[in-house]
Structure formats: structure tokens, C-alpha cells
Structure 1
Amino acid sequence: MPDQDVPTAEIIEIPPPPEPPAAASLTLEVALPPEDAARLSRLPAIAARRNGRSRGAAESLLWLDTPTGTLAAEGLALEQSPRGQRSLIRALPAPHGASHPGAAPETLPIETLPECAPEAPYISIAAFDGRRLSFTLDDPAGPVTAILRTGKLRAVAAEREIARLTLTGPPGAVVAMIQAIAAELPALPPLASLAEEARALAHGIPARPRRRGAPDLATAETVADALAQASGHLADAVLAMAPLVGADAGPEGVHQMRVGLRRLRSMLKLMRKAADGPAPRALEDGLKTLLAYLGPARDWDVFTRGLGAQVAEAMPGNRPIAQFLDAAEQRRQEAYVALEAFLAGPGYRAIAWELAAFPATLAWREGASADALALQATPLEAFGAHLLGRRWKGLARDAAGMEAMDGERLHEMRLDAKRLRYAAELFAPLFAPRRTRRFQKRLAALQEALGLANDATVASNLAQSLANGRAERSFAIGVVTGWAQAQAVRIRRDAEDTWTALDAAGPFW
């Protein structure tokens, strides 16, 4: 049966496929732990491909801004060489447009300095002092130029060692070499540019993430534009959350990482007929693997900090309940041990570079059919409106008779609401803001209510998994399960009310 979620030539007029672009050079930047940089030259992937001698030299950079941080507020930095040459660069990617993890900072014409600061005095914010080592690596597809920078970022009151490797050459060769390096060393896409890391060091604050939240496709004109912008944005947003993951760090890192992955998976499914080659499916496999590690940590977070905490507050000093919740906390800790071990290992690094390579190489074009290439050139608004209409009809169909739904059907409705929400979130910037905001707010409320109902079901299942055959544990499980069921009844009523409000508002497209 054909996928009813995807526009066809009978619904949208599809232009002929454009000519595939010529092979281009790709530059990717790699962050390395400084203590591992010396091992780079001994790796088989590097040693076997070295061609000629390395060239080393001292290197210094200085970053400047106005006293009030005018450039930083615009996501920019003024970079100065020892000879006084200045370059205006993007310390953060542009708010709109395509970028991706590992992308080198964009250099802008110096004339584009913000109007409020062209004549302002500039002061030193931070500097880099170190060495630059250049060498060439052979590959059948063509030579790859490697530049390894090692040294220290320095500010007035702080300094930090850094190591960055930049590879430039044929896209496939660059990606393959980085994957080989990442299999041996903790090599990951940088979470921030050197200029942004320097600014953060100077102010004693965390570096701003390259991207966060949902992508804004307001400037995307075609499906191909959307693929490039959304996949790069979401890859950055996912990777930015990894350092925030920890059993004692709070649940937000895991939660936001899962949200980013789900947004990306939803986008890939929406675009499946436009990106039908092997690369999107390979990426989806990696995303599923990462979600499989994140899921247990998230479930036990919700259980212990949500329902478990409520029961503990309602029954203070109850020994069976306290022991039961201790067992739940032990499971949470175990889930985080497994997750953190994965994030520290080569499996996660391979997925991280798949996330970076997908938008960097326009991987959806590789192996794509003629129909897919043609669909990639389709105007995005028409494409989005069709998909939104399909998903809205699916949700409305599932919502019929909601008051009598069993848990399984309610779960299916939750999934449909989630799919529609991610689709609406993706395409909303193409439509009138007022109506989209109202629709998204009500849809978010519906998904939240249905999600809470699902959390109650998951909590019951988790409680049962802690059974140990003892009467005290059975008592605690009964209390927690009953509490979850009582919550589910109330939440169902909330979900019915939110659906009524959403249905009355109607779609925005």
C-alpha cells in the first residue's frame, strides 16, 4: 500500500529533477581531547596515508568585541592575526539557513559589522596561542589536507588547553577518515567554535550551543532546503545535549536529547519519498540505537521524580514504600551507567559523525531515485500543507470515540498527536504566525495530556518490574500502580477537553 503521508505527482506538480551537483570539497572540524592529540599521527588511518613531511608553525589568534559585547550578541566575533589582519566570523551559525556539526565558522565581509559598532573601540576578549601542524593524507578519491591546532585559549583570569583537527578534501574521504579516527580516539564534532569557547572562557560561563530547539524553515523554499536546514539544525541540537547527561545532572539533558532525536526521525519519515536512498535509513538506524539507551534513563527519571516522589510525599516514613523507591532509584542509576558508558564510547561517536555527515554531504541525494530528486525540488509550502492535512485527518479519525478508548487506542492517538505536532512545528514558519501559534499551543496541550497518560501506564509497568515475591514489595507495587491508575483517569478527562479545543480551532494551513 503506498504511503498516504507523502505527496505524489497527482497532488503536487513536481518539476523535473535537477542535475546532480558536481563533487565538491568538504571541510569538517574535529574536537579532540588535548591529551590525545599526540596519538593522532600514530593511528593506522593517518599513518598509512601520510604523504610528505608535516609543516609546523606557531599560531596566535586574538578575538575582539566592543566593551558591551555587541558582536557576541549578534553571534559574531572579530578575529585578529598577529600581523593585525582582522576577519569577521560567525561564532554561532546564522539563525536561518543551512549549517551542520563540524562546519567551519563562516567568514563575513568586514563591511557587515553591525551598524551600531563600526567605529566603536574594540577590546581583547581572549586569545589562542599554540601550534599549527599541516600535512597531506592520500585517498583514492583525492588528497585530504589536515591541519591540527594545539595550544591554549587564554583570557585574563582563565586558560584552557584545546586541540582541533580540520580535514579538507573529497567528502567521502573526509567522512571516512574522521570515522576511522573516532573509532580510536574521543573525536567529536565541536559543540562551539573556538571564538565562542574563548568568549565563554573569558566570562566564566558555558559556551552557547550552536543550535537549540526546533528548526525554523522560514527561509526554506524547497524540500531540499528543508532537508539541509532541518537535519543540520537538529543534529547540532542533539549533540549539544550529550554533555548535560548524567544521573546527578537532572533529567533535562536526556529529555532534550530525546526530543531532538524524535524531531529528526519525524522529519526523515515526513521526507521519506524525497530522500529514499540508503543514507537516511542508515541514519535512522543510528538514531534508534541512541534512543534505546536514552529511553530507560528517561523512564526511570519520570518514575522516580514524578509518581514515585508523589507517593513518597503522601506516605512519609512508610518502610515498604521507601524500600521500593530505593530499588527504583537503583534501576535509574543502572540505566544512567549504561547510557553514560555508551556516550563515552565509539558507538556514540560513530552516530555523532553520521549526524554531522548527513547534512554536510547532502547525503539524501546519494542513491536517490529520479522521483525523489524531483520531489526535492518541490516548493516546501505545498509539500508541507499536504502532509499536515494527512496527519490531521489521521488524528481526527483516531480521536473519534475518545471517551471510550482503551489504553492501547489512547496510546495510538498519542503517537498520532506527536507526529502531527512535530510536522506542524517543522512547517509552521511557512504560514501565518497567529494561527500557527494558537494551533501549536493547543496541540502541545493535547500531546502533553496524552503523554502523561502514557507515563502513568509506563509507571505501572516499571513498578511491576520491581517485584521480588515479598509481601512488602507487593504492597508497594499495589500502591504505586493504584496511584498511577487514578492519575490516568484524571488525565484522560484533561485529554478529552484539550482535543475538543483543538478540534474547534481547526488547522492553520
Structure 2
Amino acid sequence: MTETEPSPPIEAANTSAAVPEAASDEKATAEKAPAKPREIEMPREIEIKFIADAAGLASALASPLLSGEAAPSRKLTSVYFDTPDWVLHRNRIALRVRRSGRAAPMMTLKWPAEAMEGVFARGEIEFPVPKLQPDLTLFEGELAEKLRELIGDSPLAAKYETRVTRVTRLVSHGAARIEAAFDEGVIAVGERSRPLCELELELKSGEPRELYEFAALVADSLPLVLDIVSKAERAFHFAKGSAPAPLKMRPAPLAPEVILDEGVARVALGCCDHYIANWAALRDGDDPEAIHQMRVALRRLRAALAMFKRAIPCGEFELFRAEARDLATAMGPARDCDALRELVEIGPLAHFGERKDFSPLLDALEQRRLGDYQQARAMLASRRPTLFVLKLSAFVARRGWRNALSVEELSILTGTIDVFAAEALERLYSRVLKRGKNLAELPDAQRHRARIALKNLRYGAEFFASCFAQNRDVAAFIRATAQLQNVLGAHNDAASADHFLSQLHDSGAARAAGLVTGWYARGALIADEELAQDWKNFKRIKPFWR
């Protein structure tokens, strides 16, 4: 992906971006109260973290890219505190007290940055304290109120700690000054511990795009993997024996008056953040939703960039779309196995129960799934997804699409997002109506084209729903679109099942496969009966952007 010099700045543009919820230990706790300190105007940091093994960290220490003004190494002990019911963790807040040598301990509070600032930004404030215990009386104003509201009278206790040797260097890239912190040590929970090897790059001065560009250079030359899971989050899951939960996307907030230039940034980076937010769930867990959400994020990104490219003829949009397609395709076999297993379990297996033996089929499917997951995790550990995220982040930070426009044409980017959204949604809606004409009578290939058009319309509706939040028809329109998309998906499910099942040669698995094929052929017929009514329901709902 090429990078060029930024075009002249656009009045009223800013550099914020969207971010999904960070991972938590369980889906249930992840859905509890949001992190209220996100609303507090406090200092922010922009930091990119890489994880590695000891050899990888040694390579980073020896790399000329990361040579610079070095400080003496320090031994850091950080103790993390929370309430008995983990209220801080549930709100994605980390409270720690850190000791370094004979210096006074430092109490630090960290929380997610504003939703538009991205997964690499966070809020942070710190105070010296006399001992390795937090002192909440040092916090003032709105921050103190928020903490009182969350914690109340609950006691704070030490939950886990990290002990690392840190080497720091100050390096330059362009006009930016970047602190590289090399941490090697352990996460400790009681008598248990696990290794910890990280490289953190924190922007001290300069533009965020320079940090992303530098991080991409580092990732391209060293055996490092991008990661957004904090030490506190990693320690929490080690303490609980859990894995990060998969996360659904929360569309970027877009008020009608947001300009197009900013809207492109929020939507594109929101999709990218949704993608990377699910890496840890795939790497450390086995929930099928992780791969599903990663693929959804990449499909959303491709749909968004295609929409924007019609108004802004930027060649890099197409480069990122192609890379997103390839990354999603690499996870396709693993997702297909998950989807088929779910189809078997909720369909024929639930219906027939012990009357039919599905174990040979499920065993064959599991064997295939394990291999496909191994390949998906190997892809995630490679340089490719890391470079994709960092280069896209740099592209958004420098507003790279401006380069596709002349100085006279830049004014299009100062138009409000609601005008662009209405035009884009109308075009997508018209395409659905055209491809869906006589929908119930169309052959599978043409239904598939209609389904793709519906999917893009649904993504667009979700991207831009907040521009039309006052319209009561928004939620109803999205529900109707999703329902129609799901009904059309029944044929796709049956075709995917046929493709996989036709490759089985074990006789026991083949018998079960026959039941599954028949079950989903029947399901496709039932879906056909629902299709005409769902299509009518969809067309009855007034498009909310009009």
C-alpha cells in the first residue's frame, strides 16, 4: 500500500476515530455499565503495543530501528487493585500502584479514551503516593465523582501484579519523538506466574500518523505481533482462567453536522478497531464468534470504502479493500466449520437427539475445524494483519484520501455526512430493489447477488443510523433488512453444508451427512415460503433517510 504526502488541511476536520468496547472476561459482564470515566476530559496517551517471546524482544533491543537515547534499566513492580466484584474491570478501568527502586510509588488510573479516539488511545492520570496502596482522595473534580459513583463503599484489594525489567529509549521518526519501552518479566497471581514480554511505543511529540508509520516499519522487520490487550486485562484473564470475549461492533457516532472528511475517518477506523478488538479472543480462546466478528469487521470495512470511493476517487481505498478481502478469506474455512457445526447442533441433532448418531460427522468436522483454526491463528500471528492495521491507521490519521482530490475538489469533504449518507443509502436501496425484483422466483445465483446488495445496504444503514436518530423508522428498517438477509441466507447455508459434506468418506459420517443435507434442503423450502412475505415487509417500511 503506497503512502503519499498529505494534502492541505481541511477546515473543521479533526483526527478522531471510533473504537468498540474492549475485551472483558465474560459476555455478561461485558454488557454491564459502560466505563463512565470515558466522558472525562483528562490527559490522553497514544501507545502501540507489541507482544513477543524472549527471543523476539532481544531482536527488538538489538534493532537499529529502535536505537536511541537510552535510560538506565529499571525494575518495576505494579500492583493492580479492584473491588470484590471487579467493578473497575467491568468498566474497563485499571487502577495500579507502581514501585521503581527507591522512588516514591506512583498511583495510576487508566481508562478508555473517547469512543472516537481509537483503540491505541487511552486516558491516564497519576499521582505519587507514600506506599503501595491507592489513595483515592487524590483524585479531584469529575473524576473523583465518577470513582465514588462506581466504587461507593466497596473496599479495594490487590488482585494481581506485574514484575518487569524495563529498558526505555527515545527514538525519532520524522518530526515525532517516540518512547520505546521494552518490558520483560512476569504476571503474578498469588503463587502462579506467567511470562510477559512486550514492546510499547508511546507518542511523546509529533503527529499520530508518524507513530503508526514507525510502528509499521518496526513490525515489518521484527518478530512482533500487534496487541491491544493491556497488562491489567491480561493479568485479569490469567487470574480468572478466562479468555477475552468476542466483541460486536458499535457503529461510530455520526451527528448530522459531522463533515464527510471526519465521517470517512470514523467509519473506516471503527471497522478496523472492531477487527483488532477480536484478535485476543481468537488467539487465547475458542469462541467461534471471534472469527465471525473479525470477518464481519472486514466486510463492513470493504463496504464502507466502496461507498466512499464513489465520492472520493482514492486508489488506496481499493488497496485496503483488497487486503481486507484476503484477510477475511484466510479465515473462511474455519468460519465455515463453525457455521456447519452450529447448523448441525441446532437443527437435526436437536430434533433427532439420540435416535440418530451424529458423532462420526461431528468428529470429522472437529478434526477439520482444528486444522483450519490452526491456520487462522498462524495468519493472525504473521506480519500481514499487523501491517494492515497499522498502515490503515496511518492512512486515516493523515487523511490519505485528500490526495485523490485537487485543491478545488477538497470542498466536497467539508459537506455534511447526512447529505452523503442519504445519497449513498438511496443508491444501495435502489440496487436492492432492482436485484430483488420477483425475489421468490429468482435462481440461487441471482438471489445471492440480491443478498450481497442487502448486506451492503444493512451495513450502510448501521454506519449512518445516528445521522437520522430522530427518525423512528431507523431500527425497523434495519430489522427488516436483517430478517430478509437471514432468510436469503438459508440457501447459502444449505449450499455450504452440501460442499463440505460431499467430501466425507467415512460411512457413519456419510449417513449423518445425508440427514443434515435433507434437513437443510427442507429448511430452504420453508425459507422460500417466508421470502415473499419478508420481501413485502421490507418494501413497506419507509427508508429513514428520505
**Bigger mean CA deviation after superposition, 419-428 or 262-271:** 262-271
Residue 449 of structure 1: CA displacement?
0.9
Q: Secondary structure at the match of 2:197?
A: strand
Task: Tell me the amino acid that sits aligned with residue 377 of structure 1.
Answer: T
Residues 199, 207 of structure 1: 8 Å contact kept: no
Counterpart-to-counterpart distance in 2, 1:289 and 1:34: 27
Counterpart-to-counterpart distance in 2, 1:471 and 1:89: 57
Matches within 5 A, 1:422-441: 422-430=459-467, 431-432=469-470, 434-441=472-479
Pair 1:97 & 2:134 matched: no
Residues 473, 542 of structure 2: 8 Å contact kept: no
Pair 1:146 & 2:146 matched: no
CA-to-aligned-CA distance 1:334-388 (integer Å, 9 cap, x gap)? 4334323322323333334335444455444455554774333221222222222
> What residue in structure 1 maps to residue 482 of structure 2?
444
Residue 139 of structure 1: CA displacement?
4.7
> What residue in structure 1 maps to residue 433 of structure 2?
396
Q: Secondary structure at the match of 2:73?
A: strand
Counterpart-to-counterpart distance in 2, 1:384 and 1:353: 27
Pair 1:485 & 2:517 matched: no
> What residue in structure 2 maps to residue 376 of structure 1?
413
Pair 1:297 & 2:334 matched: yes
Residue 159 of structure 1: CA displacement?
4.3
Counterpart-to-counterpart distance in 2, 1:73 and 1:338: 32
Residues 364, 509 of structure 2: 8 Å contact kept: no
Residues 209, 393 of structure 2: 8 Å contact kept: no
Residue 99 of structure 1: CA displacement?
1.1
User: Cα gap change, 1:246/1:104 in structure 2, threshold over 3 Å: closer, same or farther?
Assistant: closer
Pair 1:405 & 2:442 matched: yes
Task: Tell me the amino acid that sits aligned with residue 522 of structure 2.
Answer: A
Task: Tell me the amino acid that sits aligned with residue 473 of structure 2.
Answer: R
Counterpart-to-counterpart distance in 2, 1:50 and 1:399: 59
Residue 140 of structure 1: CA displacement?
5.9
Task: Tell me the amino acid that sits aligned with residue 411 of structure 1.
Answer: H
Counterpart-to-counterpart distance in 2, 1:460 and 1:142: 55
> Which sections of structure 2, spanning at least 5 residues, go unmatched?
1-8, 16-44, 127-138
Paired residue for 1:235, among 261, 272, 283?
A: 272
Pair 1:29 & 2:48 matched: yes
Pair 1:18 & 2:28 matched: no
> What residue in structure 1 maps to residue 261 of structure 2?
224
Q: Secondary structure at the match of 2:117?
A: coil
Pair 1:58 & 2:75 matched: yes
Residue 80 of structure 1: CA displacement?
4.1
Counterpart-to-counterpart distance in 1, 2:86 and 2:507: 64
> What residue in structure 1 maps to residue 6 of structure 2?
none
Counterpart-to-counterpart distance in 2, 1:170 and 1:97: 17
Q: Percent identity?
A: 23
User: Cα gap change, 1:438/1:318 in structure 2, threshold over 3 Å: closer, same or farther?
Assistant: closer
> What residue in structure 1 maps to residue 59 of structure 2?
40
Q: Secondary structure at the match of 2:331?
A: helix
Pair 1:420 & 2:441 matched: no
Residue 130 of structure 1: CA displacement?
2.5
Residues 213, 394 of structure 2: 8 Å contact kept: no
User: Cα gap change, 1:299/1:373 in structure 2, threshold over 3 Å: closer, same or farther?
Assistant: farther
User: Cα gap change, 1:350/1:421 in structure 2, threshold over 3 Å: closer, same or farther?
Assistant: same
Paired residue for 1:457, among 495, 517, 522?
A: 495
Counterpart-to-counterpart distance in 2, 1:506 and 1:490: 27
TM-score by length of 2: 0.74
Residue 485 of structure 1: CA displacement?
3.3
Counterpart-to-counterpart distance in 2, 1:247 and 1:47: 32
**Bigger mean CA deviation after superposition, 56-65 or 471-480:** 471-480
Counterpart-to-counterpart distance in 1, 2:375 and 2:330: 7
CA-to-aligned-CA distance 1:309-357 (integer Å, 9 cap, x gap)? 85677598989x9877766555444433432332232333333433544
Counterpart-to-counterpart distance in 2, 1:264 and 1:131: 39
> What residue in structure 2 maps to residue 182 of structure 1?
219
Counterpart-to-counterpart distance in 2, 1:77 and 1:69: 10
Q: Secondary structure at the match of 2:278?
A: helix
Matches within 5 A, 1:330-341: 330-341=367-378
> What residue in structure 2 maps to residue 133 of structure 1?
167
> What residue in structure 2 maps to residue 8 of structure 1?
none
Counterpart-to-counterpart distance in 1, 2:312 and 2:209: 19
Residue 289 of structure 1: CA displacement?
1.4
**Bigger mean CA deviation after superposition, 155-164 or 249-258:** 155-164
Task: Tell me the amino acid that sits aligned with residue 11 of structure 2.
Answer: P
Residues 17, 377 of structure 1: 8 Å contact kept: yes
Residues 283, 354 of structure 1: 8 Å contact kept: no
Residues 30, 187 of structure 1: 8 Å contact kept: no
> Which sections of structure 1, spanning at least 5 residues, go unmatched?
1-15
CA-to-aligned-CA distance 1:252-276 (integer Å, 9 cap, x gap)? 2221221121122222222224554
CA-to-aligned-CA distance 1:133-183 (integer Å, 9 cap, x gap)? 122445566664422233334455654443332333665654444334434
User: Cα gap change, 1:66/1:378 in structure 2, threshold over 3 Å: closer, same or farther?
Assistant: farther
User: Cα gap change, 1:125/1:145 in structure 2, threshold over 3 Å: closer, same or farther?
Assistant: same
Matches within 5 A, 1:187-206: 187-201=224-238, 205-206=242-243
**Bigger mean CA deviation after superposition, 367-376 or 124-133:** 367-376
Counterpart-to-counterpart distance in 2, 1:160 and 1:467: 41
Counterpart-to-counterpart distance in 2, 1:472 and 1:21: 61
Residue 422 of structure 1: CA displacement?
0.7
Counterpart-to-counterpart distance in 1, 2:501 and 2:48: 46
> What residue in structure 1 maps to residue 143 of structure 2?
113
Task: Tell me the amino acid that sits aligned with residue 40 of structure 1.
Answer: S
Residues 447, 488 of structure 2: 8 Å contact kept: yes
Counterpart-to-counterpart distance in 1, 2:532 and 2:185: 59
Task: Tell me the amino acid that sits aligned with residue 164 of structure 1.
Answer: E
> What residue in structure 2 maps to residue 343 of structure 1?
380
> What residue in structure 1 maps to residue 38 of structure 2?
none
Q: How much is the aligned-residue C-alpha RMSD, in angstroms?
A: 4.1
Counterpart-to-counterpart distance in 2, 1:501 and 1:19: 41
> What residue in structure 2 maps to residue 9 of structure 1?
none
Q: Secondary structure at the match of 1:239?
A: helix
User: Cα gap change, 1:156/1:420 in structure 2, threshold over 3 Å: closer, same or farther?
Assistant: same
Residues 303, 459 of structure 2: 8 Å contact kept: yes
